[in-house]
């Protein structure tokens, strides 16, 4: 009987962890879906570079950014692909009481080849969220990068927080 109880207790604990992770995932997904711009931080030769720009997310939480191939941020991430992205809702949050939802996402950036099905699929994802960015896709120097998250730090207000290694 004790063995059966331990198995049920372990299964319940596993279910609680899955349920908790799902709730965290839903909160992060809601923040990403709500916001259209994020701060992309890349590491330059000497100084970090931070840029506010439009982004999109995939269902797997990969983040997509477009930029000129000659931009410092693009050149930085080719040499040092570890980046940080900051997303927050301070535009609708209550700043005086710090009721702001925010996330830092650290991950590895990679260039998306401009030809092929992957480019077209990710372009459609990006433009679905940010149709105002469509004119930039006419520029032959445009590049798209995908950031695969490795770590997430999320907070909503002062009490609802979590950190996760992915």
Residues 118/133, Cβ–Cβ less than 8 Å: no
Alpha-carbon span 94 to 59, nearest angstrom: 28
pLDDT at residue 100, rounded to an integer: 92
Q: String of b and e for 76-108 (b: at least 16 CB within 10 Å)?
A: bbeeebebbbebbbeeebeeeeeebbbbbbbbe
Residues 87/109, Cβ–Cβ less than 8 Å: no
Taken in order of first residue, the domains within the chain and their CATH numbers are 2-165 (2.30.110.10)
CA angle 150, 43, 144 (to 5 degrees): 70
Global pTM value: 0.85
Per-residue pLDDT of the chain (166 residues; tens, 9 = 90+): 444 444 544 544 454 445 456 677 899 999 999 999 999 999 999 999 999 999 999 999 999 999 999 999 999 999 999 999 999 999 888 888 888 999 999 999 999 999 889 999 999 999 999 999 999 999 999 999 999 999 999 999 888 888 888 8
Alpha-carbon span 138 to 37, nearest angstrom: 21
pLDDT at residue 9, rounded to an integer: 47
Alpha-carbon span 154 to 31, nearest angstrom: 10
Closest Cα to residue 144, out of 116, 117, 123, 121? 123
């Amino acid at each position: 009987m004790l063995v059966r109880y331990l198995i049920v207790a372990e299964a319940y604990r596993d279910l609680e962890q899955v349920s908790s992770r799902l709730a965290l995932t839903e909160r992060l997904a809601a923040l990403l879906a709500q916001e259209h711009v994020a701060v992309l931080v890349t590491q330059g030769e000497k100084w970090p570079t931070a840029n506010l720009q439009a982004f999109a997310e995939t269902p797997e939480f990969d983040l997509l950014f477009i930029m000129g191939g000659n931009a410092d941020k693009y050149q930085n991430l080719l040499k040092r692909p570890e980046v940080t992205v900051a997303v927050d809702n301070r535009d609708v949050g209550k700043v005086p009481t710090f009721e702001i939802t925010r996330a830092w996402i650290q991950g590895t950036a990679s260039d998306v080849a401009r030809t092929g099905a992957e480019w077209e699929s990710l372009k459609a994802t990006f433009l679905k969220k940010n149709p105002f960015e469509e004119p930039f896709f006419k520029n032959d120097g445009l590049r798209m990068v995908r950031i695969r998250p490795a770590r997430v730090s999320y907070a909503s207000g002062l009490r609802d927080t979590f950190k996760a290694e992915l």
